[in-house]
Amino acid sequence: MHLPCGQGQQGPHLDLFPGYLDKLSLCTSQNGVEFVVHSAAVMPLCDICKSIPFKHLPPFPKEEYVRTSTGLEHVQTLVPNKFNPRGATAPRVRYHANTQSLRGEAAEGCELCLLIQGEADVMLAELEDHEGRMKDDSDGPPTFYMCLTKRPDGGQGFWVLSECSPRARGTVTVPVAVFGFTVADMSESWPLLALLPGR
């Protein structure tokens, strides 16, 4: 979910484009994060997050999945498309392999991992409150073996996805966290406008 400038809670900072003095601050919401140009501070990142190729993430493979509803607010499933003859072949950028790895880096001070951990905790809490909802013959619970892709709507940003335990429908995937990048109130001469189009 995107937040208009000035709403949400101002959070830490992330330098996505080394070589520029402008850094990207973020506003957080319950369902996602939007980065906006704010100041020259830098978000502390772990080695895994530093290695993320934000400008070159693979597109989300929309043709490989069908979106379905679980009836839960924070858990939405992406079911393999049985009409896709190639199966799941699109590239993905691997992220943390489990919540232990994610929590470890968050505890060490990686603020991006901390944000994603918060979204994962919300998902886990909802699953605990609805025990069995994803433990039937159709869907297994998320494994939190995570990967990254671009956003499927074509906007600037990325999705953090988790595989679920394979069951009858194949390997179901769930979005764990959604991030969006925008440029707010910047001069037309600002060099990153071509990379981060404004609203």
**102-144 tens-digit pLDDT:** 999 999 999 999 999 999 999 888 888 776 555 544 556 788 9
> What pTM, to 2 d.p., does this model score?
0.68
Contact 195, 16 (CB under 8 A): no
Q: What is the DSSP string of 137-180?
A: SS-PPEEEEEEEEE-TTS-SEEEEEEEE--BTTB--EEEEEEEE
Q: Is 185 left (phi over 0), alpha (psi -120 to 50) or beta?
A: left
pLDDT digits (tens, 9 = 90+) for 5-22: 223 333 333 444 333 323
pLDDT digits (tens, 9 = 90+) for 72-86: 778 888 877 877 766
- Domain ranges in the chain are 47-180
Q: How are beta strands 33-37 and 173-181 bridged, if at all?
A: parallel
SS (H, E, C) 61-103: CHHHEEEEECCCCCCEEEEECCCCCCCCCCCCEECCCCHHHHH
pLDDT digits (tens, 9 = 90+) for 26-80: 444 444 444 443 433 467 899 999 999 988 899 888 888 888 777 777 888 887 7
